[in-house]
Structure formats: structure tokens, C-alpha cells
């Protein structure tokens, strides 16, 4: 972070007011200095994350958001880190939570509720097709933009295919009590897609009625109601809405209405226009609504090495290791990673040329390059190197690592 003209900055982002605060960080409004576009920057405290042992949760959220490029899912544009903070540059959604929208109106007209539910299911279906299961869907985690469109957010409890056991099921019990699926409570393993569908059914019920289908101050009683499917559907809802709620809130995940059946349901299909996901190469969009950052699938105009950050790494490798964001720094093993579209020979030539001009010596061996600065004097008569930097190219990922 650096101060500039009275405003705090993070790279090219000018930081503004705080939008919200949590246990391990805050979200601040920010504007891109070049384009003026608004973003939400999630600022996480690294030490607090480690102390609360939620580093895996944060890693999952970053990895998951990188995979998702859908108009009804909050976008992650960039990740950066300092010694004490992690910065997630996210799409700014200025309409608040769906929960607030429902609370303000009491309940939503069926036509409006159906439109939002269609968008929600488009987003959830898209996630499932990419092996992402949200596992904490509720109105507080669904945002609404200025145009009234929804954006699914908060993927901290989401699961990816590698989280499934050999039986192909998920086994971690998580979610919010009123929205959790009955099979999750049974601790016997569950299908992430069907548990998400259940939560979406609860959200639809809340939108259309203004009440929770399952609610009780006693948690044991609440879970008993969920397991039994003990709820009532108001008779004043249309027959179509009643039918789809009944099929979504089926306690048996095998007979519960799935995505395919949902798309064939008459009530769901009224005035339905499926959303179109963003193109896969539309990854670095940070300008205004009609501009994009320079794509990195070709050699950049300037012969410079682009600093590697998390969202680029995730795009390169499905086995991303984000542990460096959370490990305590050991000065003796300090590493800086860079990415470039240039071939290794070109990069080594540029490094060698530049460091020689700066008065350093270069040694090359087996794909590694060492930069040495020797000093001779009364305390160092033999000219032993007082500075040593080695560079190695990880060719399979086009990733360069400087080990100092």
C-alpha cells in the first residue's frame, strides 16, 4: 500500500470507504486509477488467517473464483499479497444482499422471484458443470447489482472435485443451519450438486413467502424438521410455484428435482433466457464496460517480465499451491516468482546482459543462472561473494523463480 495525493493505493487501485468487515479482514471500495472503474478489494490479514486456521478456506475461495466466469457470479480479477495482507480484487456489486432486498419488501412478487431464481440456478448450474459446489447458498451470499441482477458470492466453503472421497461424495458438514440439506446432516456423504439445489429451494421459498420453510430456536428441532421435510407451502402461491417448491424441498436427494428436471419445469421456463458465460480468455477485465487489459496469450509489447500473481498461476496449473501466501517468511529461503511469455533462452540472455552492466558476474549451469557480486577488501581478501542470486526456469509452467 502506498499513499498518493491523500488517498491510499494498492498498485493502480485507489482505496475508498470500507464496505464491510469480518473476523479476518475487510472489504473496501476501490477505483482503478486509469479507467475509473469501481472494484471491491477484499483485504485479508495473513496472521489472523493462520491463527484461525482458515488458510485452506481462503485458498479454496481463490482457486474457485478463478474458475468461474459467469454474469451471475462475482468475478475475481486479481490477487496480490504483501508481508501482512492478501488483496483480492473483486467485482463491485452495488445493490446489496438479496437478504436485504427481501427484508425490505417482506416478500417478492412471483414474477420477480422467478427471474432472480432463474439467474441463481444458471449460476449454480454453471458452477456444478465446472466441479464447484458452493455449500453455503443463502440470501446473504447472493448480491444484487444496480440493474437488479444477482451475483453469487462467498465461495469460502465451496468444494472442488479433489475434495470428494473415493465414493465420489463430499463428507464435510458445512453450511448455514436453515439452508442446509438433510443428507448433509446425516454424515453419510452427499452429492454437492443436490445439496446446493436444496439450498436454492429454500432461497426460492424465502423470496416468494418472506419466511423460512424450516425454522426453530432449538437446533435439534430445526434439524428434525429438515430431515423430515416438515414445512408448509402457502396456498396463495400459484400451482406452479407450489409444485416446484415441493420438488426442490424433497428430503430424498435421489428423487429431488435436479438441474435437468428444473429446466423442463413449466413454472421455471416462463420468460426464461439462459445466461451466457464469459469467454475463457476474458480473464483480465479491469477497464470500463467496453475495455479490457492486454491479453497475455502473446508476447507483450514491452520486453519485461510480468510479475506472477495467484490468478495467473491458477490459470496455468490445476494443482495450484497457494501455500506461499500463508507461510511465514524465511529470509534464508526467500523466493520471488515471475511469469513471462518469452522463451527461457531470451530471458536468461536479458538477465545476464542487465546484471553484467550492473557490475555483477554470471554463472550458468544445468538450466540455472547464478548472479554473484564479489567484494574484495581487508575483511574479504579472497573476494568471496557477498551477494548471491540464483534463477531457475520451470519450463512446464513458463514460470521463473528467483531464489535469493
Alpha-carbon gap, residue 126 to 122, rounded angstroms: 6
Distance of CA 318 to the CA centre of its chain: 15
Apex 259 CA angle, 253 and 260, nearest 5: 110
d(CA 370, CA 391): 6
**d(Cα 321, Cα 162) in Å, to the nearest integer?**
14
Taking the CB of residue 325, how many other CB atoms lie within 10 A of it? 18
Catalytic residue among 55, 136, 191, 283: 136
Distance in angstroms (rounded) separating the CA atoms of residues 283 and 293 = 9
List, as one string, the DSSP characters of 210-258. SS-SS--SSHHHHHHHHHHT-----TTS-HHHHHHHHHHT-S-TTTS--
Question: Nearest 5°: CA angle at 370, between 369 and 374?
Answer: 155
**Does residue 136 have an active-site annotation?**
yes
Backbone angles phi, psi at 349, to 5 degrees: -60, -40
Q: Is 75 helix (H, G, I), strand (E, B) or coil?
A: coil
* Element containing residue 315 per DSSP (H, E): helix 310-316
SS (H, E, C) 127-154: HHHCCCECCCCCHHHEEECCCCCEEECC
C-alpha cell at 337: 516468482
For residues 118 and 244, give the distance between their C-alpha atoms in angstroms, rounded to a whole number: 12
The answer to whether 335 is annotated as binding is: no
Contact yes or no for 339/312 (Cβ under 8 A) = yes
Provide the annotated active-site residues. 136
Q: Binding-site residues for ATP, please?
A: 42
Q: Binding-site residues, please?
A: 42
Amino acid at each position: 500500500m502506498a499513499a498518493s495525493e491523500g488517498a491510499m493505493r494498492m498498485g493502480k487501485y485507489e482505496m475508498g470507504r470500507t464496505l464491510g468487515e469480518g473476523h479476518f479482514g475487510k472489504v473496501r471500495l476501490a477505483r482503478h486509477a486509469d479507467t475509473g472503474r469501481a472494484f471491491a478489494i477484499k483485504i485479508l490479514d495473513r496472521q489472523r488467517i493462520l491463527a484461525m486456521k482458515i488458510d485452506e478456506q481462503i485458498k479454496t475461495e481463490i482457486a474457485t473464483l478463478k474458475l468461474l466466469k459467469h454474469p451471475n457470479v462475482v468475478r475475481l480479477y486479481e490477487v496480490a499479497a504483501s508481508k501482512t495482507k492478501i488483496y483480492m480484487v473483486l467485482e463491485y456489486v452495488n445493490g446489496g444482499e438479496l437478504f436485504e432486498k427481501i427484508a425490505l419488501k417482506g416478500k417478492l412478487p412471483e414474477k420477480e422471484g422467478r427471474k432472480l431464481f432463474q439467474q441463481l440456478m444458471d449460476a449454480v448450474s454453471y458452477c456444478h458443470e465446472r466441479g464447484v459446489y458452493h455449500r453455503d447458498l443463502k440470501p446473504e451470499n447472493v448480491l444484487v447489482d444496480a440493474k437488479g441482477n444477482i451475483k453469487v458470492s462467498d465461495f469460502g466453503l465451496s468444494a472442488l472435485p479433489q475434495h470428494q472421497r473415493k465414493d465420489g461424495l463430499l463428507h464435510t458438514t458445512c453450511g448455514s443451519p436453515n439452508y442446509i440439506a438433510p443428507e448433509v446432516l446425516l454424515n453419510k456423504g452427499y452429492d454437492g450438486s443436490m445439496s446446493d439445489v436444496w439450498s436454492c429451494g429454500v432461497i426460492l421459498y424465502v423470496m416468494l413467502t418472506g419466511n423460512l420453510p424450516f425454522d426453530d430456536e432449538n437446533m435439534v428441532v430445526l434439524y428434525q424438521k429438515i430431515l423430515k421435510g416438515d414445512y408448509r407451502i402457502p396456498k396463495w402461491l400459484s400451482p406452479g410455484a407450489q409444485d416446484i417448491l415441493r420438488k426442490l424441498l424433497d428430503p430424498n436427494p435421489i428423487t429431488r428435482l435436479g438441474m435437468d428436471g428444473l429446466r423442463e419445469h413449466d413454472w421455471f421456463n416462463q420468460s426464461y433466457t439462459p445466461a451466457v458465460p464469459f469467454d475463457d480468455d476474458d480473464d483480465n477485465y479491469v477497464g470500463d464496460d467496453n475495455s479490457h487489459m492486454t491479453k497475455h496469450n502473446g508476447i507483450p509489447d514491452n520486453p519485461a517480465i510480468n510479475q506472477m500473481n495467484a490468478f495467473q498461476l491458477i490459470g496455468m496449473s490445476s494443482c495450484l499451491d497457494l501455500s506461499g501466501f500463508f507461510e511465514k517468511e524465511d529470509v534464508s529461503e526467500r523466493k520471488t516468482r515471475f511469469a513471462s511469455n518469452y522463451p527461457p533462452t531470451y530471458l536468461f540472455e536479458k538477465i545476464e546482459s542487465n546484471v553484467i552492466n550492473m557490475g555483477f558476474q554470471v554463472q550458468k549451469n544445468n538450466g540455472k543462472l547464478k548472479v554473484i557480486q564479489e567484494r574484495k577488501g581487508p575483511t574479504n581478501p579472497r573476494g568471496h561473494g557477498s551477494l548471491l542470486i540464483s534463477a531457475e526456469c520451470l519450463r512446464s509452467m513458463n514460470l521463473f523463480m528467483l531464489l535469493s
